[in-house]
Structure 1
């Protein structure tokens, strides 16, 4: 039995990070039953789709697979005019063949009730990552190449050659007498009151 002084294992039934580090250091492998599937590398292999209506889910799956494949092919074909014309001709020819074979001239020739049923095991279900969401807040300002960054200046004497930490004006006061030190202190306090 493993115990820790934080007593998280006894209170919540979950091992704490201290116990986990000791187990890793000892080379103990965590049993698979103690790790939820969502925290493993195989988390995406599960099927979160609802299979209550297999007709619609299978049609959606096939449509998604065809769209992904077509997108890849068309992105490559769009780079050259010959490939573009070749694929355009192939698609138009196949569309006409399908219309004449089915005898249908409308856009959707696959009614939901008359769709061919496939076994769920026969076709793999590919679940893609969700689309990235834009963060809240204002977007980042795009800087023009004409915009030049402002040159940093000393906050004491406004010289662009140095900053406040290396200001010769302040150094003169610091190296001076006690009266000069009082002047530096008064300047700093006056600045704090202004801001």
Structure 2
């Protein structure tokens, strides 16, 4: 019943904003609007609980106790049940060593109305009512309050006070998720989600409390800036330390040397170029001592140049001799004529 009612309650809430005729974009817009309204109403309720004190109608100490613990909405429900409890009386019907059974009836009830049955467990000192209001809604019913009033129980025991309906319901949330993962694997996805959820909850509580006044907002804003700068410094130092450790680990590793040269299969002689071929095919000239293609003593340019120079010198020498010993043909001819 509880799970089905929870689903019906969420359906009734969203039906105020969403219908089956909305498009996908319209649905997202209306859904976000509904969440904003819900969070705004929650902030308004927190403000009322912190700054308003409901009126107490009786002098019963239990009423003065619960008006300080319950939220205003739950306090009004509890006050209604407490006022109605004065219309009931309690009658013991059956008793045993471990438990006692009571009937709770109205003073002006009709003969056809059935009494409510209270079961008192003596070992646990716990009372349960057949109406199941406490198990269903989380607050003591009028029949239980009538039993407390008749037995002079002036303060409601902690067993019947649920924290979810008190003003301190948002304080001290416990996250057991990831407790074992701290030792096993701190970098696992489940553990990271647990840490993110815990920090998100704390941040949301701070924002909700600070948004009630301008002074708190200014203080929280400054603290957020300081925390952000500190986290940035920590991240930079962590990055530098990681780099140094990585460099140290690289230096400590063994040096990598070149592999041994292995002759591959099918490796033959290197193909020679035309220049190499011409150099290898050159012959040694016995005249000048140099190598060259088609170069030998017979056609050596150096030898040919030397021979031509020698020949030119010899020619020049013959010419000079001819000029020196050439006879004077004119004089010879004149002497002949004179004869």
Establish whether TM, by shorter chain, passes 0.5: no
Larger Rg: 2
Looking at secondary structure, tell me which structure has more strand per residue: 2
TM-score where L is the length of structure 2: 0.20
TM-score where L is the length of structure 1: 0.29
Looking at secondary structure, tell me which structure has more helix per residue: 2
Higher relative contact order (Cα pairs below 8 Å, separated by 6+ residues): 1
